[in-house]
Structure 1
Amino acid sequence: MSALTTQTHPPLGGPKADRPRAHGEEKPHTPLRPMWFCRADGQQWPCPEARLRLRREFEDNIPGLTIYLAGLYYEATRDLYRLNPYDGPGPSELFVRFVSWGPFRKDAAERPNGASRA
């Protein structure tokens, strides 16, 4: 007759994950709202790494990136104004931070071929 034992076997490893998990990886470069700082590095969002990742994600959809950035600009303006309506960043500062860095912006001095300055 065998004796009952209270020892259990260690659990098996189980199946492999079908998608990456947050633990063990770096924190994502996403905004911590309503302050709009990067969760990973604490810089103002979008931080340089977030900008690179957004450009890579939207490289085939420049109009989509434009619309996305304009929406974020609107939401950040609303959130930051609610947090501090007197000393918060102004609209032009937020425009530079959220929209003007996009790849679709051109310098005002650039002219199409054949166009002359008047």
Structure 2
Amino acid sequence: MARRAPDHRPVRPTWRCGTCGIAWPCSPAKLRLLAAYRLDRPALLAHLSALQAEAAAHLAELNPSTPPTDLTDRFTAWASAR
């Protein structure tokens, strides 16, 4: 039986990768997302923007005294470069 590659999905509300534990989206997640949306970059950016808003709300709730820093680099900037 073939082994399935790990999904590298975010764990909410911490927004860490459930597979490797680093800040999501990790490199494997970025590669998976780029492949999944390879023909529709605007849809990828819309999806990532929605996830960024969700992450900002979760992270602010986890630590209200220190709101999350700008999450744009983490969530969308890497996907817009072409």
Q: CA deviation at 1:87?
A: 2.6
1:98 matched to 2:75? The reply is yes
TM-score, scaled to structure 2: 0.88
Fraction of identical pairs, as percent: 36
- Is 1:60 the equivalent of 2:39? yes
Query: Which residue identity does 1:79 align to in structure 2?
Result: H
Larger Rg: 1
- Partner residue, 1:11: none
Q: What residue number does 2:24 align with?
A: 45
Name the TM-score, length of structure 1 as normaliser. Answer: 0.63
Instruction: Count the aligned residue pairs.
Output: 81
Structure ranking higher on relative contact order (CA contacts 8 Å, 6+ apart): 2
Structure holding more helix per residue: 2
* Distance across 2 between alignment mates of 1:99 and 1:82: 21
Aligned mates of 2:54, 2:41 — CA distance in 1: 20
Give unmatched runs, 5+ long, in structure 1: 1-19, 107-118
Structure 2 unpaired stretches of 5+: none
* Counterpart residue number, 1:69: 48
